[in-house]
Amino acid sequence: MASETRRAAQALIETRVERFESRHSLEASKARLAETLARARPEGRVDFTTRWTDDDGKPVLEATFAPPRRVGRFLKATSIATTLLVAVTVWAMVSNDASPGMAWLLGLSTAFTALALPFVYVAMGSTRAAEESRLLRAIRAALMDEEEKLPPMKKWDDA
């Protein structure tokens, strides 16, 4: 579990660059990529930018996958809020001015926050990894003529 958590957290904040050599001309590659990305329907969990270069007459796509700015702001805000929550909890537990009920509720809230935040970060990292995977499949399908492998439709046994 710890290594999976670490992987998901790392996926949440890292910036990666992938290179793809196209089997088509530059204009055809750009058109195919735009069409395939429209079908992939990115949701904005990844800042996806492209840069085209030429490698021995063949177009090469350099795709950059970076975290959106809101992820950094969210991580900083939760860090500050958690630090303040811990500080207020410690104050409530050692202060004579705070009621025992308030100290108990703050302690419980702090504990639940400490237990819940890793799951929130793992969920955010996993959704980003899923979107990157969709974009990578779309790029490979457009530029390298690979099949678009979409997951099979779910069938529910309602009867």
Cα–Cα distance list, 37 to 17, 23, 26, 103, 140 (Å): 17, 17, 16, 52, 11
| Mean pLDDT value of segment 114-137 | 90
pTM beyond 0.95: the answer is: no
59-63, 124-128, 141-145, range with greatest mean pLDDT: 59-63
Q: Which of 52, 22, 34 is nearest to 135 (CA)?
A: 34
* DSSP-derived 3-state class of residue 129: helix
Q: In whole numbers, what is the pLDDT of the chain averaged over residues?
A: 87
pLDDT at 80: 97
pLDDT at 155: 63
The model's pLDDT over 37-57, given as tens digits with 9 standing for 90+, comes to 888 888 888 899 999 998 888
| Mean pLDDT value of segment 117-135 | 89
Q: How far apart are CA 83 and CA 79, in angstroms?
A: 6
The model's pLDDT over 65-86, given as tens digits with 9 standing for 90+, comes to 999 999 989 999 999 999 999 9
Q: Which of 93, 89, 118 is nearest to 106 (CA)?
A: 89
pLDDT at 110: 96
